[in-house]
Amino acid sequence: MVPLSWYLILSAALFTIGAVGVIVKRNVIAIFLCIELMLNGANLALVALSGFFGDIGGQLFVFIVMTVAAAEAAVGLAIIISIFRTRESLNVDDADTMKL
Amino acid sequence: MLALLQQTSDFQIISRETVQLIMPEVILTVFGCAALVLDVMLPRALKKVVAWVSLSGVGLSLVSLGILYPNLVNNQSARVGFFEMILVDDYAVVFKLMFLIGAAISIILSIKYLDEEGEQHGEYYSLILFSVVGMMFMASAVDLLSLFISLELMAISVYILVGYLKRDRKSNEAAMKYFLLGAFSSGVLLYGMSMVYGLTGSTNLAKIAAAIPNVLKIDVVKTMTERSVMDMRYLLLLSMVFMAAGMFFKIAAVPFHMWAPDAYEGAPTSITAFMSVGVKAASFAMFGRLFLYGLPDLRATIAGNAADSVPSLPGWAVLLGVISAITIVWGNLGALTQNNLKRLLAYSSISHAGYTLLGLIAGNQTGYIGVVLYLFIYTIMNLGIFGCIIALKRRGISGDNINDLNGLIKKAPWLTVMMTIFLLSLGGIPPTAGFIGKFYLFGGLIETGNPWLARLAILAVVMTVVSLYYYLRFVKHMYIEEETETTPLAPSRVLNWTLSVAAVVIVLIGVYPKWFIDISQRAARSQALKTYSYKAEEAEQPLELPGSMGAPSR
């Protein structure tokens, strides 16, 4: 059986990759994917811990988070489309109308 | 799934009493859906009806809150519902009242603003209602799960509203920045929550609070060769920092404030107003729940163990203290050089978030009263000032630039007077409400007698004086500068009346604050009392740290 610590290490790795990706990526879609990766890192930790405790709460939480992530994706992609329409670019550095 | 739920002892049929608990939210949800349907059915000329329907929804929700509340006071058991995910206490009710008042004023501001923009659509109002539902659940949620989902309900609705002017480049950009950073912060918050779940074995805040002392236990194993310390406190500190970081994003505290000026400037002005009060107040409500209710033992320090020379770690009050000091300084300095009114108010709202944090740091009754009272006052005065900016908006003139205010006293004397009242209140000048709020926040810090907190209070007072510079700049432009353009204002009677009422209330609270202090006190007291009473209950039957050997927690 896979010990709990492996799951937690994997989830921490997923979260870190996501967080670093958000910082270094310049493409809006890539940043968005990295955010999803962060959420899934947290999800994995919740599911693993929930299985370990034999407690259903963590799994319920994951279902909710998945739903929220889907809703967020719907809204996020709509916003990304509207920004592409006005700018013809998905690079976040091009979104610089407002500065200090 | 249902079978599993039934096995747990928590299972309860969702009865009439529990549905009553969320009646105000149910009403708002129904009206939100109705607004969507009405929008499709009504012809273009009648779209404004949707706004009035939404407003009546908010009014009905207020009424149901008023009916529900006395029942709750009489019937203690009906306060917790939905598998202990919702707790309706004084704290929740006062915040809900605040959100509903904020939503009502925002809808009134929006009617005029959307008319000027020519973007009067029904989905706008339904999104406002849905986000208010999210805020109201945030105030009453006492489970990580319900906190997270209500936070997201609010946030996702507001992302759309920020990008509502879809052909406007600024609005798009603001929505993108707000969305990316908001989603990022939700991820950080969620990871913090998953760590807390891992450490305590529960998502319920009360159970988390009860399990924390077990996590704090330090097992020191001393053998002949080595001395190993089993220390979960670092993980606890990390999870606390993650959750705090997620919340700092939402309230726009300084290292995490980068989105705020852009999102506030780019969003439709009515939404800027709504965001700056509603989202901020709701995030503070959640902040209070998470930290005061869920992690009360970690306030000052995460206790160490002197006997085994294990040092104590700083608690969340220390973290909040540092952040609030930076926030107050940065917010005020950032506002000094701004010429765009919305951007200036964005920086000012950042500094106000810093002031409000002071009350949570003080951690005494005065401080908690300060938090609730200040958020209440801030809701009214900030909506007021944004309302004045919206009143300035007319064809071809955005009303955003500070030069648009030039010579306003000649054009609209009453509007100028109201604006002056709101500005003085934001600056915290005595005869207005802002002074009362700041008095409680700073007074709470001084009351603790801690020299560091006293220094923090002095810093805050000094920065308040700095803030007067940019608030009085408005006044200078309105009273002294010559008119630069002569386009007449396009007043709206409803807007004018609303602003007048808000201005009168601000002065009234400044002169006679007793009623507002009383309700804030009730909220503050319920928050503190609940935590302690629960702990006393738990002390009789110590909760076993679940999962030590993989045993089921219940």
**What domains does chain A contain, in order, with CATH numbers?**
4-89 (1.10.287.3510)
Q: In this structure, are residues A95 and A83 in contact, taking their beta carbons and an 8 Å threshold?
A: yes
Chain B contact for A42 (CB, 8 A cutoff): yes
Q: Which two tokens stand for residue B234?
A: 């670092």
Helix (H) or strand (E) holding B19: helix B16-21
Q: In this structure, are residues B347 and B370 in contact, taking their beta carbons and an 8 Å threshold?
A: no
Phi, psi (rounded to 5 degrees) for B28: -60, -40
Best of A9, A16, A75, A87 to substitute, by most chain B Cβ atoms within 10 angstroms, is: A75
Q: For residue A41, which residues of chain B lie inside 8 Å, CB to CB?
A: 191
Summarised one tens digit per residue, pLDDT across range B369-421 is 999 999 999 999 999 999 998 888 876 677 778 888 888 888 888 999 999 99
Q: What is the mean pLDDT of residues B182-196?
A: 94
Cross-chain CB nearest to B144 (options A39, A41, A61):
A61
- Inspect the interface and report whether the beta carbons of B197 and A83 lie closer than 8 Å: no
pLDDT band at B136 (very low <50, low <70, confident <90, very high): very high
Q: What is the mean pLDDT of residues B449-461?
A: 90
Question: Is a pLDDT exceeding 90 seen at residue B224?
Answer: no
Q: What is the mean pLDDT of residues B108-129?
A: 89
Q: Residue B118, SS3?
A: coil
Question: Is a pLDDT exceeding 50 seen at residue B544?
Answer: no
Query: Nearest-CA distance from A32 to chain B in Å?
Result: 7
Chain A contact for B190 (CB, 8 A cutoff): yes
Question: Is a pLDDT exceeding 90 seen at residue A39?
Answer: yes
Question: Is a pLDDT exceeding 60 seen at residue B528?
Answer: no
Q: How much is the pLDDT for B490?
A: 72
- Inspect the interface and report whether the beta carbons of B198 and A79 lie closer than 8 Å: no
Q: How much is the pLDDT for B234?
A: 85
- Inspect the interface and report whether the beta carbons of A57 and B202 lie closer than 8 Å: yes
Q: How much is the pLDDT for B529?
A: 47
CA angle B85, B356, B330 (to 5 degrees): 125
- Inspect the interface and report whether the beta carbons of A45 and B266 lie closer than 8 Å: no
Which amino acid does the sequence have at B341? Answer: L
Q: For residue B170, which residues of chain A lie inside 8 Å, CB to CB?
A: 97-98
Q: What sign results for the dihedral spanned by CA atoms B327, B329, B332, B337? A: negative
Q: In this structure, are residues B132 and B99 in contact, taking their beta carbons and an 8 Å threshold?
A: yes
pLDDT band at B271 (very low <50, low <70, confident <90, very high): very high
Looking at per-residue pLDDT, the higher value among A85 and B483 belongs to: A85
Q: Residue B197, SS3?
A: helix
Q: What is the mean pLDDT of residues B353-365?
A: 90
Q: What is the mean pLDDT of residues B533-549?
A: 39
Q: Cα–Cα distance between A33 and A21 in angstroms, integer?
A: 9
Best of B10, B147, B176 to substitute, by most chain A Cβ atoms within 10 angstroms, is: B176
- Inspect the interface and report whether the beta carbons of B167 and A86 lie closer than 8 Å: yes
Q: Cα–Cα distance between B262 and B338 in angstroms, integer?
A: 13
Q: How much is the pLDDT for B508?
A: 92
Best of A82, A85, A96 to substitute, by most chain B Cβ atoms within 10 angstroms, is: A82
Q: How much is the pLDDT for B79?
A: 77
Q: Cα–Cα distance between B346 and A32 in angstroms, integer?
A: 26
Summarised one tens digit per residue, pLDDT across range B469-512 is 999 988 888 888 887 777 777 778 888 899 999 999 999 999 98
Q: How much is the pLDDT for B19?
A: 80
Summarised one tens digit per residue, pLDDT across range B243-257 is 999 999 999 998 888
Chain A contact for B203 (CB, 8 A cutoff): yes
Question: Is a pLDDT exceeding 50 seen at residue B545?
Answer: no
Q: How much is the pLDDT for B9?
A: 47
- Inspect the interface and report whether the beta carbons of B183 and A52 lie closer than 8 Å: no
Best of A4, A53, A87 to substitute, by most chain B Cβ atoms within 10 angstroms, is: A53
Q: What is the mean pLDDT of residues B41-57?
A: 90
Q: Which two tokens stand for residue B187?
A: 């991820």
Q: How much is the pLDDT for B540?
A: 40
- Which residues of B, range 337-376, sit inside 8 Å of A by Cβ? 337, 343
Chain A contact for B41 (CB, 8 A cutoff): no
- Which residues of B, range 414-443, sit inside 8 Å of A by Cβ? none
Classify the phi-psi angles of B407: left when phi > 0, otherwise alpha if psi is within -120 to 50, otherwise beta.
left
Provide the CA A5 distance to its chain's centre, in angstroms. 22
Chain B contact for A76 (CB, 8 A cutoff): yes
Q: How much is the pLDDT for B406?
A: 83
Which amino acid does the sequence have at A58? Answer: G
| Residue recorded with tokens 């779940």 | B197
Q: For residue B179, which residues of chain A lie inside 8 Å, CB to CB?
A: 75-76, 79
